[in-house]
Amino acid sequence: MTSFQSAPARILSEASPWWQPDPNHLLSIEGGRPLSGRYPISGAKNAVLPLMVSALLTPHLVTLQNVPRSLDVAVLGALLHRLGVGVSWSDGDPRAPLSLTLCADRVHPGEIEAGLVMRMRASILLLGALLARCGEARMPMPGGDSIGLRTVDFHLAGLRAMGAEITLEHGIIDARAPDGLHGAEIQLEFPSVGATQNLLLAAVLANGTSILGNVAREPEVVDLCTCLIAMGARIEGIGSSTLAIEGRHALGGVLHRVMPDRIELGTIACAAAATGGEILLEGGTLGLLGVAAPLLEQAGVGLREVPGGLVAVRAAGGLVGIDVVTQPWPGFATDLQAPTMALLCIADGAGTVTETIFESRFRHVDELRRMGAVITVRGRTALVRGVPALDGASVMATDVRAGAALVIAGLTARGTTLIDGLDHIDRGYDGLAYKLAACGPRLKRCTG
């Protein structure tokens, strides 16, 4: 095992090679090769981050298996280390998932480093856990992808209802609960995944019972509830829009396996169909995709469950335009919007993509247009008219999922595509380029 405690207290530990951003910030893709073989689906990026934060709720060991080697995991590990949490991980195959063990027996809730907080939106989850465990937290406003306003109002309002005293001045959140948090009835204005997770983390150690209404029902929220219950939390209504949480005085340790990444699953299924390949997505199931599965099948993505995973191919009828509207679970995931748009760019006919979750999540459109895509945006709806083929170009990944869309486009395009801004892709995907390269395409990371 390699330990964070043996490394200098720097922004990112140098104790493990994967813990640093890859200096090769460009991805070169020679298009036109179909995907084939096996592609292992990693642990879910959107699930592992709140699971890591849950370690703050107990002095006992929290061990997480199937942890993706993503940059967000590295940054959150560094944040937790700065708060006094011992973080260690399994050494071994550099391409295999991590096993992380966290020990928060000596938490010191000083001001959380701005340089780290500004790198990831999920750092806001530290607020609820620190208030519950330590009665105080001080942190800058979080950063992350620029895909919309994504305010923290729902988080702060819910924590205030539980007794927290919170001020927000000059971009700094100062929160205190000197007498501890108490149970409350909270109705979210929108089923925000982050706000639901934050209030869950706070409520499990609050005094009394909390009723959370209009909560997010995403599988990643269910995964967090499952882990917290294994730690001793009392939660009812899991998977529904209302959660009842009876606060406990203390929680225990846990060994928990992170759920597979449904967004990576959908992304690579789109890539397989777009390239005309056939690939086994190891660990994938139709259930993970939810309503996205039949919608992708309508677009020409053939999906078939087999022992060990999900086979994705291009359907015999080819790719066709469809209409997609993003919605909270059980609706079509906003994180699959950009990869699906890349697929529609080379489908027969026209399709539409309507984004209802984030107001600025079409930044990939201009980059796809550079490759020959025909897309018209009106408000929150993009009209995509399929073309026979895209052409390679130099493009920029502006956020995690936009980067994935450009990878799909590059895999199908004529000629070479050069994608800049791979740090965005590294935030959300575990070794995407390396895993794809093992499935046939010619692609490599480079510096220019």
pLDDT confidence of 448, banded at 50, 70, 90? confident
Q: Is the pTM of this model over 0.75?
A: yes
Instruction: Indicate if 186 and 294 belong to the same structural domain.
Output: no
Domain count, the chain: 2
Give 184-196 pLDDT, tens digit per residue: 999 999 999 999 9
Instruction: Indicate if 37 and 150 belong to the same structural domain.
Output: no
pLDDT cut 90: percent of the chain above it? 82
Residue at which a domain ends, from 257, 278, 313:
257
Handedness of CA 232, 235, 240, 242 (dihedral sign): negative
CA distance 421 to 182: 43
Give a yes or no: residue 122 inside a domain.
yes
Instruction: Indicate if 319 and 360 belong to the same structural domain.
Output: yes
User: Shortest CA distance to 343 belongs to which of 270, 413, 289?
Assistant: 270
Q: What is the mean pLDDT of the chain?
A: 92
Q: What is the mean pLDDT of residues 365-389?
A: 98
Give 319-350 pLDDT, tens digit per residue: 999 999 999 999 999 999 999 999 999 999 99
Instruction: Indicate if 250 and 116 belong to the same structural domain.
Output: yes
Residue 216 has pLDDT above 70, yes or no: yes
Residue at which a domain ends, from 220, 236, 257:
257
Is 335 assigned to a binding site?
Answer: yes
Give a yes or no: residue 4 inside a domain.
no
Instruction: Indicate if 54 and 66 belong to the same structural domain.
Output: yes
pLDDT confidence of 209, banded at 50, 70, 90? very high
Instruction: Indicate if 200 and 233 belong to the same structural domain.
Output: yes
**Domain at 105, CATH number:** 3.65.10.10
pLDDT cut 70: percent of the chain above it? 92
**Rg for the chain (alpha carbons), in Å?**
21
pLDDT confidence of 254, banded at 50, 70, 90? very high
Give a yes or no: residue 237 inside a domain.
yes
Could you list the residue range(s) of the whole structural domain that residue 177 is in? 45-257
Instruction: Indicate if 36 and 79 belong to the same structural domain.
Output: no
Q: What is the mean pLDDT of residues 152-167?
A: 96
Give 53-67 pLDDT, tens digit per residue: 999 999 999 999 999
Instruction: Indicate if 330 and 413 belong to the same structural domain.
Output: yes
pLDDT confidence of 6, banded at 50, 70, 90? very low
Is 357 assigned to a binding site?
Answer: yes
Instruction: Indicate if 242 and 297 belong to the same structural domain.
Output: no
Instruction: Indicate if 282 and 295 belong to the same structural domain.
Output: yes
Residue 143 has pLDDT above 80, yes or no: no
pLDDT of residue 91: 62
Give a yes or no: residue 390 inside a domain.
yes
- Weakest-pLDDT range from 79-83, 134-138, 182-186, 239-243: 79-83
Q: What is the mean pLDDT of residues 278-289?
A: 98
Give a yes or no: residue 232 inside a domain.
yes
Give 92-125 pLDDT, tens digit per residue: 676 778 899 999 999 988 878 888 888 788 999 9
pLDDT of residue 20: 62
**Active site residue ranges:** 145
pLDDT of residue 21: 60
Instruction: Indicate if 248 and 271 belong to the same structural domain.
Output: no
Residue 8 has pLDDT above 80, yes or no: no
Q: What is the mean pLDDT of residues 205-227?
A: 99
Residue 132 has pLDDT above 60, yes or no: yes
Residue 146 has pLDDT above 60, yes or no: no
Residue 38 has pLDDT above 50, yes or no: yes
Residue 357 has pLDDT above 70, yes or no: yes
Give a yes or no: residue 301 inside a domain.
yes
Instruction: Indicate if 225 and 284 belong to the same structural domain.
Output: no
pLDDT confidence of 252, banded at 50, 70, 90? very high
pLDDT of residue 433: 94
Distance of CA 390 to the CA centre of its chain: 28
Give a yes or no: residue 2 inside a domain.
no
Give a yes or no: residue 150 inside a domain.
yes
Q: End-to-end distance of the chain based on CA atoms, in angstroms?
A: 35
Residue at which a domain ends, from 201, 228, 257:
257
Residue with the bigger pLDDT between 6 and 12: it is 12
